[in-house]
Amino acid sequence: MNVRIALQLSAALSLIACSDAALPNANATPQVAIANFGDTSETWRISSRGIGPLKLGEKLVEPEGGFEERYRTSFYGDKQPLEGFVFSEPPVLAVFKDGPFSAWGANNVGRKPPEAIQTRAVALARAKRFKVEMLVTTDPRPQTTAGISVGDDYATFARAYPRAPAPEPFVGLWEQPSCMVSRGTIWFFFDRCDDADRAKIIRIAVRTDGSQV
């Protein structure tokens, strides 16, 4: 696994505690990611293209209740800014790039952004100016097509993906160290690297090929 790519995930994962973009042609007709489907395993399926109706590379659609309370900002381990919106159906963090926090955060590392940043991000999201670059979940309900979800142990994971390696440690990611296994665009994060037999999945991320987030 490429360490540089792995390090790019660090702040994306720090944006959520999931308990609870390039600017396109404004005249183009965008594809959209429908924000609210029902709570079923098929609806919330984790695939190489996304999680449920939220798909990588598609536009965000405003969920019920609006964008305002869902906006999140954070920083990568190397202090680069990152931002996204938290959704409940499916339960994910949808990360995008080139939002208003990007330039502001680069000059204000570690600081909470002013309200104007959120206001601008919400306005741009409503105008469908952001593409989904990464989707992250810590909820056990979404499952991959192989039936794997957050909370599964490594033995269950290995039966579903028999060619997958054991979790590998990467210093400086969300946990210290982060323990990951990637299957294409789907990244599985485990709670430990030292003993695969006792490791459990704590987070699943789906990211675009060549993503910079």
Q: Which residues have C-beta within 8 Å of that of residue 57, sequence separation ≥ 6?
A: 31, 131, 132, 208
153 vs 144: CA distance, rounded Å: 14
Q: Among the listed ranges 21-25, 30-34, 72-76, 95-99, which one has the minimum average pLDDT value?
A: 21-25
| Per-residue confidence band for 79, with pLDDT thresholds at 50, 70 and 90 | confident
**What pLDDT, on a 0 to 100 scale, did the predictor assign at position 210?**
54
- Give mean pLDDT, residues 19-38: 36
Q: Is the pLDDT of residue 4 over 60?
A: no
pLDDT band at 82 (very low <50, low <70, confident <90, very high): confident
pLDDT of residue 75: 82
Residue 81 pLDDT = 84
Give the mean model confidence (pLDDT) for residues 78-96: 89
> Residue ranges per domain, the chain?
3-19+31-136, 154-207
What is the residue-averaged pLDDT of the chain? Answer: 81
What's the pLDDT tens digit per position in 104-154? 999 999 999 999 999 999 999 999 999 999 999 999 999 999 999 999 999
- Which comes out higher in pLDDT, residue 122 or 29? 122
Give the model's pLDDT for residue 58.
95
Going by pLDDT thresholds of 50, 70 and 90, the confidence category of residue 43 is confident
- pLDDT greater than 80 at residue 101: yes
The confidence score (pLDDT) of residue 52 equals: 95
Q: What is the mean pLDDT of the segment spanning 183-203?
A: 93
The band of 22, judged by pLDDT with boundaries at 50, 70 and 90, is very low
Cα 146 from Cα 144, distance rounded (Å): 5
Give me the count of residues in the chain: 213
- Among 68-72, 113-117, 146-150, 208-212, which is the least confidently predicted range? 208-212
Give the neighbor-by-neighbor strand order of the sheet with 46-47. Answer: 46-47, 50-51, 54-55
Burial of 11 (0-12, 13-18, 19+ CB in 10 A): buried
